[in-house]
């Protein structure tokens, strides 16, 4: 009996270990690629080489890397902040002040999630041009901060919030917005952290829409740069791998930094379905 149990245990660990290798290997490959030349990467070289410095130098001299990274960072930070405020306020409004009219509005915007973005590109583009927001980071941020998924996510989490606290605050004479900003938000930190990570990932990695709205190299983001690099007549894979590593690092850092909250935040949202 005891032995049977431990064999199972070993199998579980073997399974976990193999899943670990599968999950992490591409990251190893990516870092190894960063240290090799284009030809070596294509040839499938698995070991580390000594090209790191030259790849990084090429990347930073051929491309305006610093500026591109700052662009990505700026867009992402403003998108995340905007998303958190706008979407959480909306979710709070839908959840705390329930009314049939708003419930209807909510159902409709949830349905919007089903429309593929690609169908909306042309009208959205016309709109952006008419609003003189083409090739601006503001245009990109404005169109990205009202995420239906994040509103949905926030609302699911908010269902768990004890309503009595809000009532008590009202009795104490606190205004509705003060309740939201100084009582509600601080107590939902992990939900906000989870939404922040999600929104950070989707903004940092966004491709199709930034590609259309941003017109010049000066405004470009990291993801757009990787795409244009990989379509050259002769792609420099070592440099591309370097760019991918640099582009992936910030998300990994953010994720590790907020991991604890992330899991907790997800927990909140799944409480009530």
Residues 114-173 that bind other proteins (CB under 8 A): 114-127, 129-130, 132, 134-135, 142-143, 145-146, 148, 151, 163, 167, 170
Backbone dihedral angles phi then psi of residue 230, each to the nearest 5 degrees: -80, 0
Interface segment toward other proteins; rule CB under 8 A; list 48-56, 73-81, 102-110: 102-110
In the complex with other proteins, which residue's Cβ is closer, 77 or 89?
A: 89
In the complex with other proteins, which residue's Cβ is closer, 22 or 66?
A: 22
* 195 touches other proteins by CB under 8 A: no
Burial class (CB in 10 A: 0-12, 13-18, 19+), 205: middle
* 264 touches other proteins by CB under 8 A: yes
Using the rule CB under 8 A, which residue among 14, 138, 165, 263 binds other proteins?
Answer: 263
Question: CA–CA separation, 78 vs 228, rounded Å?
Answer: 25
Which residues lie below 8 Å from residue 106, measured CB to CB, with a gap of 6+?
A: 94, 155
> CB-hemisphere CA count at 13 Å for 153?
25
* 59 touches other proteins by CB under 8 A: no
- Count interface residues toward other proteins (CB under 8 A): 112
Interface segment toward other proteins; rule CB under 8 A; list 47-55, 73-81, 104-112: 104-112
Interface segment toward other proteins; rule CB under 8 A; list 48-56, 73-81, 200-208: 200-208
In the complex with other proteins, which residue's Cβ is closer, 73 or 89?
A: 89
Question: CA–CA separation, 221 vs 209, rounded Å?
Answer: 11
Helix, strand, coil tally for the chain in percent (to 5): 80, 0, 20
């Amino acid at each position: 009996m005891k032995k049977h149990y431990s064999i199972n245990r070993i199998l579980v660990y073997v399974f976990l270990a193999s899943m670990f290798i599968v999950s992490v290997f591409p990251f190893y490959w990516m870092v190894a690629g960063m240290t090799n030349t284009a030809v070596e990467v294509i040839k499938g070289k698995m070991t580390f080489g000594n090209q790191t410095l030259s790849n990084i130098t090429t990347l930073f001299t051929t491309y305006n890397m610093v500026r591109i990274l700052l662009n990505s960072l700026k867009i992402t930070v403003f998108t995340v902040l905007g998303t958190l405020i706008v979407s959480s306020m909306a979710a709070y409004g839908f959840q705390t002040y329930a009314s049939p009219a708003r419930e209807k509005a909510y159902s409709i915007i949830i349905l919007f999630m089903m429309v593929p973005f690609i169908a909306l590109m042309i009208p959205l583009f016309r709109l952006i041009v008419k609003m003189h927001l083409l090739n601006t980071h503001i245009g990109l941020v404005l169109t990205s901060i009202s995420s239906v998924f994040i509103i949905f996510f926030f609302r699911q989490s908010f269902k768990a919030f004890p309503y009595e606290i809000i009532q008590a605050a009202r009795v104490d004479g606190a205004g509705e917005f003060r309740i939201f900003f100084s009582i509600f938000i601080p107590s939902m930190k992990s939900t906000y952290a989870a939404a922040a990570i999600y929104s950070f990932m989707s903004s940092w990695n966004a491709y199709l829409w930034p590609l259309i709205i941003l017109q010049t190299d000066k405004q470009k983001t990291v993801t757009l740069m990787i795409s244009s690099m990989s379509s050259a007549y002769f792609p420099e894979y070592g440099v591309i791998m370097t760019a991918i590593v640099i582009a992936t690092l910030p998300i990994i850092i953010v994720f590790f930094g907020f991991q604890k909250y992330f899991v907790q935040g997800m927990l909140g949202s799944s409480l009530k379905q």
